[in-house]
C-alpha cells in the first residue's frame, strides 16, 4: 500500500502542500459481497485493458503509451472532485518548489506583455536587484534566445536553475537608446509570503499572500519588526489581511493561527474513517500579546486562509471583516508515485473549525460585511464563483453558498474594508450605509 506523505489545502486556482501523514495498511476479512464487488472491479479493469489495446492498434496516428496512461489516471482523479488530480513529474516538481517557497533563480517578479517579459519588480537583495534590474524593464532575450513565442511559464523556467549558474539577459529600458545586456548568477530565492507595514502610526498591518514553508517564519519576523517600530505597548492592534490568498500548507495555517492564540482547538480534519480524525490545538504564547486582531477576507480567501479566519473567529480572538470566503473545506494528500512518475493529489479529508462547523461550499461569513466600490469596467470580473460553483465539488451539509466579491482596490485610500478595520481599532464605529453585520444563521437561512 502506498504511503500518504503530504496534506495540502488547495483552492480552485492555486495552492500547495502540507504535513506528513503516514497510514498503516488495514487488515479486513472479505465477505461474499465484497468478493463479488472485487470481481466486478477486475472485469472493469479488463475492459480498460481492451480499450487501451484497441486505441494503441487502431488509432489513426500512433499514440504515446505513456500519455495514454497518464490521461487515463488524470481522468479518474478529476472525475472525483475539482481538487483531486494527477501531477506528472514536472508538475510535481513545480508544486514542491511552490510549497518550499524557495528556488534557484534571479529574484524578479515578471508578467507577460505583448509577447515579451515585463519586470513587475525586482526582489530586494537578490541577483536582479543587485544588477540594477528595474520595474518596467522588458526582457527580450534569455541566453541569446528570443523570448517572443514563449509562454510566461516557459520563460520563468528558463530563468530558474541551479544556484551559482549564470544566465544572460537582454533588456529594453525606457529612455535607453540601445538594449542592455547583463549576466546574472542565480542564487537561492525565497518567495516573500508575508509583507507588513505600520498603519496610522500604531496599527500593525500584515498581509499573507500564501501559506508555504516560509510563511510562519516570515510572520514572526514581521511581527517582531512591527513591535519594534511602534513599541510593543503602543500597538493598538493587528490587521491580518488574507484577501485573495488561495491557501497552501495545512501546518502553516495551524502555526499562523497559533501565533495569535494561547489555547484551544485550531482545526480538526476528518477522513472517511473515524480513526483518521485529527485535532490541532494551540500552544501557549500569543505573539500579539492579547492585542485586538482584525482579519480581512473576501471571495478569494480559500482553504488555509479559511482555517486561520475560522479558528480566530470561533475562538473569539478576532473580528472578521470583508465578504464571505471561497468555501473550500477539504484537505488533499500528495502521494508520490516513485521516481519519475509524478504524484497523486487526492482529497482525503474535510476540515472543521473549532466550533465543529464545516465551511465546505459555504465559506466563512465575516462578522462585519464590507462591500468595495468596484469600477464599472471591472464589475463583471470581481466576483469569485466559490467552491459551490465548481463542478463535482463535495456537497455541503445544509444550504450551500455561491461566491462573493473579491475586489481589492489598488489604491489603499479606496479600500473600505481596510479603513473599517483601522477605524474599528481606533474605536470609530461605521454607519449602516458602509457596513453590514450579517444576521444570525437562522434568520439568514430564512431570508434565502
3-class DSSP string for the chain = CCCCCEEEEECCCCECCCCCCCCCCCCCCCCHHHHHHHHHHHHHHHHHHHHHHHHHHHCCCCCCHHHHHHHHHHHHHHCCCCCCEEECHHHHHHHHHHHHCEEEECCEEEEEECCEEEEEEECCCCHHHHCCCCCCCEEEEECCEECCCCCHHHHHHHHCCCCCCEEEEEEECCCCCCCEEEEEECEEEECCCEEEEEECCCEEEEEECCECCCHHHHHHHHHHHHHHHHCHHHCCEEEEECCCCCCEEHHHHHHHHHCCCCCCEEEEEECCCHHHCEEEECCCCCCCCCCCEEEEECCCCCCHHHHHHHHHHHCCCEEEEECCCCCCCEEEEEEECCCCCCEEEEEEEEEECCCCCECCCCCCCCCEECCCCCCHHHCCCCECCCHHHCCCCCCCCCCCCCCCECCCCCCHHHCHHHHHHHHHHCCCCCCCCCCECCCCHHHHHHHC
Across the chain, mean pLDDT equals 87
pLDDT, mean of residues 324-340: 94
Which CATH entry fits the domain spanning 194-426: 2.160.20.60, 1.10.10.60, 3.40.50.10440, 3.90.226.10? 3.90.226.10
Query: Where residue 390 falls among pLDDT bands split at 50, 70, 90?
Result: very high
Give the Cα separation of 314 and 364 in Å (integer): 10
249, 99 contact by CB (below 8 A) = yes
Q: What pLDDT shows up at residue 436?
A: 57
Q: What pLDDT shows up at residue 7?
A: 58
Pick from 71-75, 92-96, 217-221, 312-316: least confident = 92-96
**Residue 191's Cα: distance from chain center in Å?**
13
Q: What pLDDT shows up at residue 30?
A: 54
pLDDT, mean of residues 322-330: 97
* pLDDT of 39 above 90: no
pLDDT, mean of residues 6-18: 43
pLDDT, one tens digit per residue, over 67-82 is: 999 999 999 999 999 9
Report the DSSP pairing between strands 278-281 and 265-270: antiparallel
Backbone angles phi, psi at 431, to 5 degrees: -85, 170
Q: What pLDDT shows up at residue 174?
A: 87
CB-based contacts of 96, cutoff 8 Å, min separation 6: 17
How much of the chain, in percent, has pLDDT values that exceed 70?
A: 89
243, 322 contact by CB (below 8 A) = yes
* pLDDT of 334 above 80: yes
Nearest CA among 311, 324, 288, 326 for reference residue 425: 288
Q: What pLDDT shows up at residue 432?
A: 41
How far apart, in Å, are the Cα atoms of 22 and each of 5, 299, 329, 333?
6, 33, 21, 11
Kindly tell me the sign of the dihedral angle through the C-alpha atoms of 140, 144, 146, 152: negative
- What the block records as the C-alpha cell of 443 is 434568520
Nearest CA among 107, 260, 109 for reference residue 186: 107
71, 85 contact by CB (below 8 A) = no
Query: Where residue 214 falls among pLDDT bands split at 50, 70, 90?
Result: very high
Q: What pLDDT shows up at residue 189?
A: 87
Q: Whose grid coordinates read 502521494?
A: 335
204, 230 contact by CB (below 8 A) = yes
Pick from 36-40, 130-134, 264-268, 366-370: least confident = 36-40
pLDDT, mean of residues 14-24: 35
Q: What pLDDT shows up at residue 23?
A: 36
Give the Cα separation of 401 and 361 in Å (integer): 6
- Confidence (pTM): 0.81
* pLDDT of 434 above 90: no
CA atoms within 13 A on the CB side of 68: 15
Residues of the chain within CATH 3.90.226.10 domain(s) are: 194-426
- What the block records as the C-alpha cell of 115 is 509577447
Question: Which residues are catalytically annotated?
Answer: 303, 314, 328
Give the Cα separation of 384 and 14 in Å (integer): 14
Report the DSSP pairing between strands 194-199 and 343-352: unpaired
How much of the chain, in percent, has pLDDT values that exceed 90?
A: 68
Which fold, 105-190? Pdz3 Domain (2.30.42)
377, 358 contact by CB (below 8 A) = no
* pLDDT of 379 above 70: yes
* pLDDT of 179 above 90: yes
pLDDT, one tens digit per residue, over 392-410 is: 999 998 999 988 999 999 9
Query: Where residue 2 falls among pLDDT bands split at 50, 70, 90?
Result: very low
Bridge partners, residue 298, by sequence? none
Nearest CA among 85, 16, 12, 13 for reference residue 252: 16
Q: What pLDDT shows up at residue 8?
A: 58
Q: What pLDDT shows up at residue 191?
A: 82
Amino acid at each position: 500500500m502506498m504511503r500518504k506523505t503530504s496534506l495540502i489545502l488547495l483552492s480552485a486556482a492555486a495552492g500547495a502542500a502540507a504535513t506528513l501523514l503516514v497510514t498503516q495498511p488495514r487488515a479486513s476479512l472479505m465477505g461474499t459481497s465484497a468478493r463479488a464487488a472485487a470481481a466486478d472491479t477486475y472485469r472493469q479493469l479488463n475492459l480498460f485493458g481492451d480499450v487501451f489495446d484497441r486505441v494503441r492498434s487502431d488509432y489513426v496516428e500512433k499514440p504515446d503509451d505513456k500519455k495514454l496512461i497518464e490521461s487515463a489516471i488524470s481522468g479518474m482523479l478529476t472525475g472525483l472532485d475539482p481538487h483531486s488530480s494527477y501531477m506528472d513529474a514536472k508538475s510535481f516538481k513545480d508544486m514542491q518548489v511552490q510549497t518550499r517557497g524557495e528556488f534557484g533563480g534571479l529574484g524578479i517578479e515578471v508578467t507577460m506583455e505583448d509577447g515579451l517579459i515585463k519586470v513587475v519588480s525586482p526582489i530586494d537583495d537578490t541577483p536582479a536587484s543587485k544588477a540594477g534590474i528595474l520595474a518596467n524593464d522588458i526582457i527580450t532575450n534569455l541566453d541569446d534566445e528570443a523570448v517572443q513565442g514563449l509562454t510566461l511559464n516557459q520563460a520563468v523556467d528558463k530563468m530558474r536553475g541551479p544556484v551559482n549558474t549564470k544566465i544572460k539577459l537582454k533588456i529594453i529600458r525606457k529612455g535607453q537608446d540601445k538594449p542592455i545586456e547583463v549576466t546574472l548568477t542565480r542564487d537561492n530565492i525565497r518567495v516573500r509570503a508575508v509583507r507588513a507595514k505600520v498603519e496610522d502610526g500604531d496599527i500593525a498591518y500584515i498581509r499573507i499572500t500564501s501559506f508555504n514553508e516560509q510563511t510562519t517564519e516570515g510572520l514572526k519576523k514581521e511581527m517582531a519588526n512591527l513591535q519594534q517600530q511602534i513599541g510593543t505597548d503602543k500597538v493598538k492592534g493587528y490587521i491580518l489581511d488574507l484577501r485573495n490568498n488561495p491557501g497552501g500548507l495545512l501546518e502553516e495555517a495551524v502555526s499562523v493561527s497559533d501565533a495569535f492564540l494561547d489555547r484551544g482547538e485550531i482545526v480538526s480534519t476528518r477522513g472517511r474513517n473515524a480513526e483518521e480524525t485529527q485535532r490541532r490545538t494551540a500552544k501557549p504564547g500569543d505573539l500579539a500579546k492579547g492585542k485586538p486582531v482584525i482579519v480581512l477576507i473576501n471571495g478569494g480567501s480559500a482553504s488555509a486562509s479559511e482555517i486561520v479566519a475560522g479558528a480566530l473567529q470561533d475562538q473569539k480572538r478576532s473580528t472578521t471583516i470583508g465578504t464571505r470566503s471561497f468555501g473550500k473545506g477539504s484537505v488533499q494528500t500528495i502521494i508520490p508515485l516513485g521516481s519519475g512518475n509524478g504524484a497523486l493529489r487526492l482529497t482525503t479529508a474535510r476540515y472543521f473549525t473549532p466550533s465543529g462547523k464545516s465551511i465546505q461550499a459555504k465559506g466563512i461569513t465575516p462578522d462585519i460585511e464590507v462591500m468595495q466600490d468596484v469600477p464599472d469596467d471591472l464589475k463583471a470580473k470581481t466576483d469569485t464563483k466559490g467552491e459551490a460553483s465548481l463542478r463535482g465539488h463535495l456537497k455541503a451539509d445544509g444550504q450551500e453558498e455561491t461566491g462573493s466579491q473579491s475586489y481589492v482596490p489598488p489604491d489603499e485610500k479606496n479600500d473600505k474594508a481596510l479603513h473599517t478595520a483601522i477605524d474599528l481599532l481606533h474605536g470609530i464605529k461605521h454607519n449602516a450605509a458602509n457596513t453590514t453585520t450579517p444576521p444570525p444563521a437562522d434568520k439568514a437561512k430564512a431570508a434565502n
